[in-house]
Structure 1
Amino acid sequence: MDGRGEDGAGGVGDVGGEAVKVRRKRMPRAERERQMLDAAVRTFGQRGYRAASMDEIAELAGVSKPLVYLYLNSKEELFTACIRREAAALTRAVRGAVAPGPADRQLWDGLRAFFEHTGRHPDAWAVLHSQARTVGEPFAAEVNALRAELVAFVTALLAAAAREAHQDPSLPDREVAGLAHALVGAAESLAGWANAEPDVSAREAAATLMNFAWAGLGDLMEGRRWSPPS
């Protein structure tokens, strides 16, 4: 009988008539937490926050439910940890893809990275975009922080490009902040569409949004604004 406990307890075997203790290597805490969070993201993303159970998550992670509670005290804390991890991963992917260069190239690289990441991690995107927003506070606040960071990043990108095009270093961020909000909102909506359509690639989704947005943004960079009729 194997007496080994979870996370590396020992068992007893008989070798050559002598009782010897058999140990397995203890899994590092960070690796164990990653394993639990992976299982939680998959379960929350596919089942929804309310329908998901800690029993399911523990079984998928290959651990006991008490161990999940030992690492993360409650279902709420586990869900919050999932949101924070996946939000950080998404922002890293977008920021890491954007290199100095023309504004349209920066925007293209950022959008493509956004759609590539959300396409590779559909359960994580479901947690961020669908589940966290609908379950209520404080989860919605966590996702709003992610959105605010992305909007600030896009605002800074567009504002810098507009200042350069207008040769006006004092051009305020608010001139393009609304456009950044609209662009991020459109990207969020398109990510859901792209994930639901298996034939839509990340590149196609990014090109769709660029074709929709850049005609107007390009005119703005050149100082050509549309004005409503009087």
Structure 2
Amino acid sequence: MGAVKTKRMPRAVREQQMLDAAVEIFGQRGYMAASMDEIAELAGVSKPLVYLYLNSKEDLFTACIRREASALVDAVRSGVRTDLPADRRLWDGLLAFFAHTAAHPHAWSVVHLQARTHGETFAAEAAAMREEIVAFVTHLIAVGAREAHRDPDLPEREVAGLAEALVGAAESLAVWANATEGVTARQAAATLMNFAWAGLGDLTQGRSWSPPPAADDVGHA
């Protein structure tokens, strides 16, 4: 009787297996300290096969950033129902963000920390992800503001700065939540909603805070 042949794993499946291992190693050890030997061992393949599929450590890291950035953006987008009120849409988006970053801490480390500190090419990949999330959040806030103002033409630039601030706060809070024992995604989302919604709620109700005249500013000529 001849030897039983093992079914060959499809290339796409094998490649995802390598990326899974790479994300874990990069997330744990950082880009510089991670080795292709460790990644290959965790993936259960030879190091030459990793190079054959993904060319180099730089290309492998880029592929990890792109995959995980896309997964995070998809998670946030799919978590929001557009038929719900503005506050619920924002809540669902934040909850989806924190749930995903909590469930994939190594991936969050790769796209938020590692990618930004190891070269312009990697940083550009992370920046593209962030720009897409900011644009999505800007739209969420703008829709609520347009409804409140009854002005369908209210430009998104009116709320773009709020979206930038909110995304920046979410990023910092996700790092803190992942490093702090006992903090759930729901708690992190609630913390940011409570922090942000007072101001955003005024905006979406047609009210906004106006600063005093520039002449009244103290020490900020």
What range describes the TM-score normalised by the shorter chain of this pair? Answer: over 0.9
Distance 1:207 1:213 in 2: 10
Q: Which runs of 4+ in 1 moved over 3 A?
A: none
Matches within 5 A, 1:60-209: 60-100=42-82, 101-209=84-192
Higher RCO, 1 vs 2 (CA within 8 Å, ≥6 residues apart)? 2
1:39 to 21, 31, 36: 21
Distance 1:225 1:108 in 2: 20
Name the larger-Rg structure: 1
Q: Secondary structure, in 3 states, of the residue corresponding to 2:3? A: strand
Query: Could you report, residue by residue, the CA deviation over 1:173-201 in whole angstroms, capped at 9, with x for unpaired residues?
Result: 00000000100100000000100112100
**Structure 1 or 2: more strand by fraction:** 1
RMSD: 0.8
User: TM-score if structure 2 supplies the norm length?
Assistant: 0.94
User: TM-score if structure 1 supplies the norm length?
Assistant: 0.90
1:56 to 12, 17, 38: 38
Distance 1:120 1:21 in 2: 42
Query: Could you report, residue by residue, the CA deviation over 1:55-92 in whole angstroms, capped at 9, with x for unpaired residues?
Result: 11001101000000110000000000000100111111
Query: Could you report, residue by residue, the CA deviation over 1:89-117 in whole angstroms, capped at 9, with x for unpaired residues?
Result: 11111111100210000000010010000
Matches within 5 A, 1:208-223: 208-223=191-206
Unaligned 5+ runs, structure 1: 1-14
Paired-residue identity, %:
75
Aligned residues: 212
Q: Secondary structure, in 3 states, of the residue corresponding to 1:21? A: coil
Distance 1:99 1:226 in 2: 29
What one-letter code is carried by the residue in structure 2 that aligns with 1:110? G
**Structure 1 or 2: more helix by fraction:** 2
